[in-house]
Amino acid sequence: MSRKGKVLVAMSGGIDSTVTALMLNDQGYEVVGITMKTWDYATSGGGKKETGCCNIDSFNDARMAAVQHGFPHYILDIRDEFGDFVIENFVDEYLAGRTPNPCVMCNTHIKWRALLKRADALGCDYIATGHYGNVHQHDNGRFYISKGKDETKDQSYVLWGLQQDLLSRTLLPLGPYHKTEIRQMALDYGYPELAKKSESYEICFVPDNDYRGFLKRKVEGLEEQVAGGNFIDKTGKVLGKHKGYPFYTIGQRKGLDITFGKPVYVTNIIPEDNTVMLGEEDDLNRQDMLVSKINWIKYEGITDGMEALTKIRYKDQGAMASLYNHPNGVQVQFSHYAKGIAPGQSAVFYEGDDVIGGGVIQRGQLA
């Protein structure tokens, strides 16, 4: 029995999760590797083979690393759990005129819960992943996430939904490192191909990055149902016809198939009457938003007027805002205009590098 405890490591077969497992193994943990199969791309009707974390090569890479370093490895089929929740939510959100973040939903509701359930069954003290972030315990006793050292790889934004029982047993060994250091570790462990392995930024179940095609395949007759809606401007003037409101996102400029001699952007989506509003870049500016489905991490809650750096998308640098409790979540008042607030995306609140909490954006400007 390891003096450091037993840890279940999520291994996708990629560089980050593999180095995570090997690092913990070297540190004296009793490691158990697990690879989760979340999705069969072939069942979506796509034109490409499975990619990323759900193909047989990735499974074999993960298992090979485990065998070579003497720890057990399992494959866990969570396609039913994943599909019922993450994919249905993905489709429902687009049909509601919002832009979902399936990685957040998956981490929050599926992957960590599935890991913890299997960790308990296998007698593991901890679960670990290859995410770039850090887990700490505050003086108030609460566990919280802070940004990873490598700002270009930091994934704290997608982990805001993890609750205390999950965080208290989570290890994130890559948080203190830069990606270049992890690549060097892979070389040092004797995996030169892994060190050069490219990374995928696609949604795992939409590996061709064509979410519109995915929606058409999942919802029979969708294209016919939503075609022919109106593009309008902010005064309500009809500017032309579009292909259907689910196929557009807030801030979109390309692929509108309509020209005005100047750049125009999607500024609002109104699913009730299949309308898409267009405007200039400044029309994307908002100073308020409502955020619901809140999960507080560092503190149990907030006091009205608390200031926090607020990120409204993964690669967003963030903007200072004041937070106010609201019957349906949190009212966010930005110090300066925020651009391209998209309902359905995550809003994550930071105190320095620490995640205070997060939630799902409901609308980009309070009435």
Phi, psi angles (nearest 5°) of residue 284: -85, -10
Question: Binding site membership for ATP: which residues?
Answer: 10-17, 36, 130
Measured CA to CA, the distance from residue 216 to residue 200 in angstroms comes to 23
Backbone angles phi, psi at 297, to 5 degrees: -115, -65
Provide DSSP, 180-246. HHHHHHHHHTT-HHHHH-----S-TT-TTS-HHHHHHHHSTTHHHHHTTPEEE-TT--EEEE-S-GG
Active site residue 124: no
Annotated binding residues, written as ranges, equal 10-17, 36, 130
Judge whether 316 and 101 are in contact, CB under 8 Å. no
Residue of 53, 103, 106, 124 with catalytic role: 106
Count of other CB atoms within 10 angstroms of residue 147: 20
Phi and psi angles of residue 123, each rounded to the nearest 5 degrees, phi first: 70, 30
Is 204 a residue of the active site? yes
Q: Which residue is it, tokens 């490409």? A: 48
Q: Which of 54, 103, 124, 204 is catalytic?
A: 204
Look at phi and psi of residue 78 and say left if phi exceeds 0, alpha if psi is from -120 to 50, else beta.
Answer: alpha
Where in the sequence numbering do the catalytic residues fall? 106, 204
